[in-house]
Every structure is written in C-alpha cells, then in structure tokens.
Structure 1
C-alpha cells in the first residue's frame, strides 16, 4: 500500500505556512450555504496539543477549538478490518512519534492496525485516538466546526472507499453534516470520483504533488469552482499565473 510519508508531509506543513485559497469567478460566500470561507486558521491533524503534532486526537480538537479554531484538517486511513480512523500513516516512525512503542507489540509497529488495536492504543499514553464516528460526534457537538479531509491512500479504490464510508456515516446521522466536510483532492480526476458519491459544497485541490501547469489549474478551477492550496514557493514564483486571480489567505497551524 502506498502512503504519503511523514518526512515529506512535515516539509509540506512548513511550506504551507500560508494556505492559499484561490477564488475564481463568482463570490462563493454569496452562493455557499456555509460560512467556511470566513475562517482563516486551519488546524493540521486536529492541531497541536502540549507541543505534540500529528496526533489527530480528540483532546487536540477540543483544545484548539477552545482557542478559537473552527477548521480542522484530519488524516484518514483504513484499518486492517476496513474501518475509517484518524491516523497519518502506519509506520514505526509514526508509532514512535505518538509514543506508542511501549504499548504496541513490536510486530504491530509499522503495520496496519485493526480497529480495536488502533482505538485501544492511547497516544502518548493519555490522548484518545479518533475514528470517523467520533469525528462526526464532534461535528454534531460543535455545530460551527468544519473538517478538511486528508485521505492518506494513493490507491483510488481505497480512497473512494474512505469517502463512501464517511459520506454514508454522515448521511445516517444527519445529511447536513456533509455541508461541513471539505474534501481535499490530489488530482483533477478525483473530483469526478468524489462527485459520484456526494457533491460537497467545498472541495480543495492541493497542488503540492500535482504536475499540472498553472494554465491547467486555472482552467480546472474555472470549470469546477474548487478551491486551491499550494506551497508558498509556487504562489510567489515570478512565473506563477495563479495569483492573477483574487486570493484569500489562510494559515495552516500544526
């Protein structure tokens, strides 16, 4: 299974000190049923807690919400038995970073955990792992919070299974929850795949792995109305055509 690795992701977080969202054409704030564009801070992996990052933990969400954050990016992976959980990657390095090496058997470090193994292994011995159902609990309890998805599967079938699970789970609870879920896509074709499952009102096309030219990106946004994230280096390039349109700036915090 191909996954985004931790070190490149940490570089990406540093590069995306500013999360640039590009608006093309019509003012989305007038057409959208949400106030998502009004916020400026995005908490990466539910935000840091006690200087710990990448936890995707319940307590991290609550701590950052209480500090005023309303948009939370969360990493999503499938467990060995097909359940959707908030985890950045299944690596030994991640287990070490989350302080789980003394709790997990050596044979389970660097492997895909089962749902029970994942949920029964606290982060740093004290913080609570989140599955998708508990994330929906948070959305219901905090009605002004938003979730930006970072699905960590490269395989198209597994990625779409994640979106199928998260969509069906939200619809069973309350279809209105889907208005506060913002998928990230990693290539243009992914938008059509997601739209077959549900037409999310906000979708973010993240460019840090994209080979698309500026011209391709601009045309895609004009046609689809998606928003864009990109590294600062691309936004500030002298040759970039992406800043010829109106920009709204967001800060991505760890």
Structure 2
C-alpha cells in the first residue's frame, strides 16, 4: 500500500513538472525590463476602489490601496470652475449621484462644474476626501515609492497646455524630482509632440481608447517615439499587438480588469499589467501558478 502511494506521488510530481515545463515553454516571451513603474503590474484605477465603490479618486481610496500593496495610481484630472486641477472623473448629475454627493450640494449644482471650494466640501459618499492636484503632490512626497498616472479628461490642445503646464509648474515648485514619478497618458499621436514642448517626461503611456490606429500604426509610433507603455481595453487587446509590443520591450496594460479569470486570459495573451479597481499585486502573483498549470 505504501509503495502504491509512493508511486502515485512520484507520477503526480512528474506530471506536474511536465505541465509547468510545457506551460513555461509556450508562455509568451517579452523583452520588458522591469524598472521604474514597470516594476509593478497593477495600476489602481481612479486611485482604486474602496468598500466596493470605484471612481472616487479620494485620499481614503489611495491609502487603502497603498496598504494593499499597489504603487501605481491612475488619477482622473479635470479643471474646476475656477481653473484649479482636481481629481474627478466627470461632471454631471448622474456622476454626482454615483458619488453620493446629492446631500452635499444644492440641487441646482448637481449638474454643474464645481468650484474648488464646492469640490472639497462635497465629500464622496458623505465621508471620503476629494483630492486636488496639490494634495496629490503632497501624497507623492509622503509616499516616495508611488507613481501617478494622469488621466486628463479634457484633451483639447489648449486644455492640454493648461493642465500639463499646471502639473509641471506645481511639481517643480514643490520638488522637481516628483516629475520623474508622474506618468502622463497620451490619447493620440500628436499629443506626444505637444507634451514634449511642455516637459520631457521620463515615462509616457499611450492609451488607445480614443483612437482607431491599427496594430502596425501603434507599434510604429511606439518604436519611433520611445513610448514607455501602452494601455488598452480588454476588447482592444489582441495577441498580435501585444506580441509586437513585447518584442519591443514595451509592456501592455489592460483596463479596467477586476475579474481574475479575465486577467489570466489576458496574461496568456501576453499582457503585462492591468488597471484595476479591486485586484492586487498578490492576485497577479497567484495567477502565475494557475497560469503555468493552465487553470
């Protein structure tokens, strides 16, 4: 009986080793150097979710997700009515309701563009602290290992000049080294040239959700300009594009992924990282083993 049990254990171990070996061989290869923000696979979408709520861009969401191990934080940025840069996804009555702010504002202001004072006074879900850009820079100073990825919701050329002019001027006034950890997302190819005229950011992400560039056009642009990373939706992600980017050593991040099974499917395709509301770096690490076993 003991011999039979030992035999089964040995056979099981051999089969496991073969499965892992085969999975390793067929795993998509990449030439990505894991340094800077690329040392991390997960990006906290809109500062990450908190208590089941996404899109808050709040101080509490930042702290909660930092404590879970995330170090890249994507932040939605808009200009307030008095032209301050604030962390908010959008304006409108439905979003104000989604953020639970109806009781924090007069009814006629639910659909408006908030002043900075209104923005700060109207707590998210009645309890979470909204953040201005200046406060985000304070967080970057206090947490020297975090990276901020910008998602600027106003992308007309004149708006980009104003927003990134503010980003650069305020960072330089506080500590110019902060600019090394600010990672702009660009939404089209001309925006790269515009940003270069404002500041030569160390890292830039090309996000594809507003463009219809072909795989070849994306890859050529990334190669010519030295783009640091590309992010795309799960519906835009495809093996051909991701493989081409991997060959260039450029990571592909996919947004917004909260399902571990979808994450593993995209990893098998070669995706490097993910924007997420609720997953963590531990989820990626755990999926490595499941991925190797084909589960």
Distance 2:120 2:160 in 1: 21
Matches within 5 A, 1:6-17: none
Once the two structures are superposed, residues 22-75 of structure 1 have per-residue CA deviations (whole angstroms, 9 ceiling, x without a partner) of xx98x665xxxx621110110000001111111000010011001101000000
Once the two structures are superposed, residues 178-197 of structure 1 have per-residue CA deviations (whole angstroms, 9 ceiling, x without a partner) of 00000000000001111111
**SS class of match (1:252):** strand
| 2:46 and 2:54 in contact (8 A); partners too | yes
Displacement after TM superposition at 1:236 (Å): 2.4
Distance 1:60 1:236 in 2: 31
**SS class of match (1:73):** strand
Q: Which residue of 1 aligns with 2:61?
A: 60
Distance 2:155 2:134 in 1: 23
Task: Tell which structure's C-alpha radius of gyration is larger.
Answer: 2
The verdict on how the C-alpha distance between 1:28 and 1:196 changes in structure 2, with shifts beyond 3 A counting, is: farther
Confirm whether residue 158 of structure 1 aligns to residue 159 of structure 2: yes
2:273 pairs with one of 245, 250, 254: 250
Distance 1:112 1:233 in 2: 32
TM-score, length of structure 1 as denominator length: 0.84
Distance 2:91 2:102 in 1: 13
| 2:104 and 2:121 in contact (8 A); partners too | no
Gapped regions of structure 2 (runs ≥ 5): 1-29, 252-271, 278-295
Confirm whether residue 236 of structure 1 aligns to residue 201 of structure 2: no
Once the two structures are superposed, residues 113-160 of structure 1 have per-residue CA deviations (whole angstroms, 9 ceiling, x without a partner) of 111111111111111000000000000000000100000013221122
Distance 2:241 2:81 in 1: 43
Q: Which has the higher helix share?
A: 2
Confirm whether residue 180 of structure 1 aligns to residue 181 of structure 2: yes
Q: Which residue of 2 aligns with 1:93?
A: 94
Confirm whether residue 219 of structure 1 aligns to residue 220 of structure 2: yes
Q: Runs of 4+ in structure 1 displaced over 3 angstroms? A: none
| 2:219 and 2:245 in contact (8 A); partners too | no
Displacement after TM superposition at 1:245 (Å): 3.7
Aligned residues: 225
Tell me: higher relative CO, structure 1 or 2? Use CA pairs within 8 A at least 6 residues apart.
1
Displacement after TM superposition at 1:211 (Å): 1.5
Q: Which residue of 2 aligns with 1:83?
A: 84
| 1:84 and 1:132 in contact (8 A); partners too | yes
